[in-house]
Amino acid sequence: MSCGGLVIRADTPRNALPRCCDGERMADVFDIYTIIFLALAVFIFLRLRSVLGQRTGRERPPYDPYSARDAVRSPAAEKKVVTLPQRSSDASSRPAETAAPEAERWKDVAESGSTVAAGLDAVAAADSSFDAKHFITGARTAYEMIVTAFAGGDRRQLRSLLSRDVYDGFDAAITERERRSETAETRFVSIDGSTVTAAELRNRTTAQITVRFVSKLISATRDRSGTVIDGNAEKVTDVTDVWTFARDVSSRDPNWKVIATETGQ
């Protein structure tokens, strides 16, 4: 081996080499570290590959609930199509949808083609939210509330459910009862029937529906000493009342009020 024209023996220690040979010594050292770093890099690469696997181009993106939801809705959104409900397999065996409601519109409420049905048609035409069965349910509730409120002298309750004229009549009866120091007791046993007997639309805005109630009550009136002077506190009595309810269909107030009461047969 030679360095700068000097012949150097192979067994000469490296620290005894002249300065002109430092470059070769440093090159040797650099080559060693390069090999070590390359070996480490290869080792790390192989470890990462074994843990993470290889990408094939078919991998799914990370799950995004919002993008998944939008992907389901996108076809309809792009086409702006509203999907109509599908008809069931037995739809062909039923009458046409347009004819069935007319024939059974007031089923269990009024006979088709009757005067009552015609009146209900007029009310429904003026008030698209009108539901006859819902009305009857509310009328039954109001009937029980009014009878109970009258017996208890609850004027506030009566005022919210009765027209002014009917309220004045109830109020006068309560006042007379109080003047004589009498008390009334009324308990509902049942409401056995509630039948619409008339319906009409007056002046294009006032809907009027008359209902015949058949009920069972326990009713009695006591004097100031507690003695029963009218009715029977232990006997169930059959009672029939015919009440007329009215509502201004042009008003936002959905409540009906009683405008007439009479005892039925």
- Our CA dihedral for 127, 128, 133, 134, rounded to 10 degrees, sits at -80
What residues of the chain score a pLDDT lower than 70? 1-31, 33, 37, 40-103, 265
Q: Which residue has the tokens 């109080």?
A: 178
pLDDT for residue 55: 46
Contact 2, 8 (CB under 8 A): yes
Query: What is the pTM for the complete model shown?
Result: 0.62
What local confidence, expressed as pLDDT, does residue 173 receive? Answer: 97
Kind of pairing, strands 237-248 and 228-231?
unpaired
Indicate the burial class of 16 (C-beta count within 10 angstroms; 0-12, 13-18, 19 or more): exposed
Q: What is the pLDDT of residue 68?
A: 36
